[in-house]
Amino acid sequence: MTDARTQLLQRMRERALLRSTSALLSWDEATGMPVAGARHRADQQALLAGMARDLAADPQVGEWLTACSDDADVKHWRRIHRRAVRVPRRLVESLAKTCTLAREAWASARDANDGRVFKAQLSKVVNLKREEADALAGGGDRYEALLDEYEPFVSAATIVPLVESLAHELLRRATTWESGPPERQPGPVPDSGQLQLLLSLAKTMGFADRRGRIDEGTHGSAAAIGPGDVRITTRFSKVDATGPVLRTLHELGHWFMDDGLPENAWGTPRGEPSSHSLHESQARFFENHVGRSDAFWEWLFPKAKAAWAPFYDASSSVAVRKHLRRVHRGLLRSWADEVTSDLHIVMRMRLERALIEGTLQVDALPTAWSDASAYWFGTRPRNDLEGWPQDGHWSAGKFGFFPTYTLGNLAAAQLAEALKRDRPEAEHELGRGEFAPTLAWLKANVHRHGGEGNVFERVQLATGRPLTAESFLRHLDARYANGRR
């Protein structure tokens, strides 16, 4: 390596260390931090964010980049440097501090089922994100500037129409296939029974205690702290025993992605996936293409029945599979099925885009959310838990993140189709509880490449076809059309 590249690599790894420390603090905030510690945590996060920004914005970094020949790593480093230079440290620190406090306000709003305690903090976040978007866009499209944080080098003109067109196809299918709210399952299932099953499932699939943690949290999450340290949280349920399984599979998908990255590339784009859509594809693959499949439940149900006893008997397997095949346009995104999940995404994408562009103000958000819910789901929220404060993304400043869920769904379906093509025996292996061959295929085609390419480029290389909605719609039609088993 040239001296410039050596210096650049060292600098970017220092930045990655600061960001991993911030991730550890975020994990602690989600799992164990006392509420009274929020203001101090906000100061900690602001300092780390400012330091990381300065490392990337340093004029010396620009000189090193000029001296380096172009390749995939340098392309990503140029983007990081450019974004850091455009956003002043003052704004970076303000965002980190305000979002930390906003997350606590959001959690309080959910606990109280009252969004009023969150609205003022959300207004502050939105104003800061508009300022950040203006700094990044340089007179261009605000929303595209924020999308770039989560799906680099892909334009809004590519992402937004794809999400929009898919949503209308799904709305037509959802209204045709809708089977009403899910029937109440036997329960309540003890938390101990759920934890026993989920830990056993994770270890069977390949999760290693020495390389990660699984904790209970208010919401499922995954935090990549660094090589050999990826932490996930899951959530139990008193009324839906299958939900915790699907949520845990989702977070395990993220864990497998992060744990499968090449450790010797940590701190470089190849060691830190830049495409959130590709990351999400791994979570959706395990949640939906594994976790809702007949083969998986043929293997898991006897173990689940034992762990959940006495709430399930031998005849309950059919009820569980029927429950997993339901289609219901419910108002809660976290409980959405495969068919309706992306309706939630397009609704949020439209609203957040309007918030960032300034055509919608936070004070008007509850009414706009209610009107959008009536269109997409045929009903309006009865309370704030069903309405605009239900997601924590905006409190964390993650405007532009929601479309990555839909892109992840499309990528997961296309990867699953390619897996079946390359390994026709994969479904039978799942029915025997053999996950290693599927994981090996994913690692070879996705995980080990890290940040090499965006979701469109990586899926094209892994499957031999451009990323489209075709595989996803074929998957839904096969699983849900002509009656559901």
Helices (H) and strands (E) in the chain, counts: 20, 3
DSSP state of 288: I
Return the ∠ at Cα 206 (arms to 203 and 212), rounded to 5°.
75
Which stretches of 87-182 are assigned E, i.e. beta strand? none
DSSP H helices in 329-402 = 341-357, 365-377
Query: In whole angstroms, what is the distance from residue 205 CA to residue 252 CA?
Result: 9
Q: Which residues of 221-256 are buried (b: 16+ CB within 10 A; e: fewer)?
A: bbbbbbbebbbbbbbbbeebbbbbbbbbbbbbbbbb
The H-or-E segment that residue 213 falls in is strand 212-216
Residues ≥6 apart with Cβ < 8 Å to 98: 42, 121, 124, 125, 128, 397
Q: What is the dihedral of CA 41, 42, 46, 48, to 10 degrees?
A: 20
93 is catalytic: no
φ/ψ bin of 141: left (φ > 0), alpha (ψ from -120 to 50), beta (otherwise)? beta
Active-site annotation holder among 29, 149, 251, 272? 251
Residues with a catalytic annotation lie at: 251
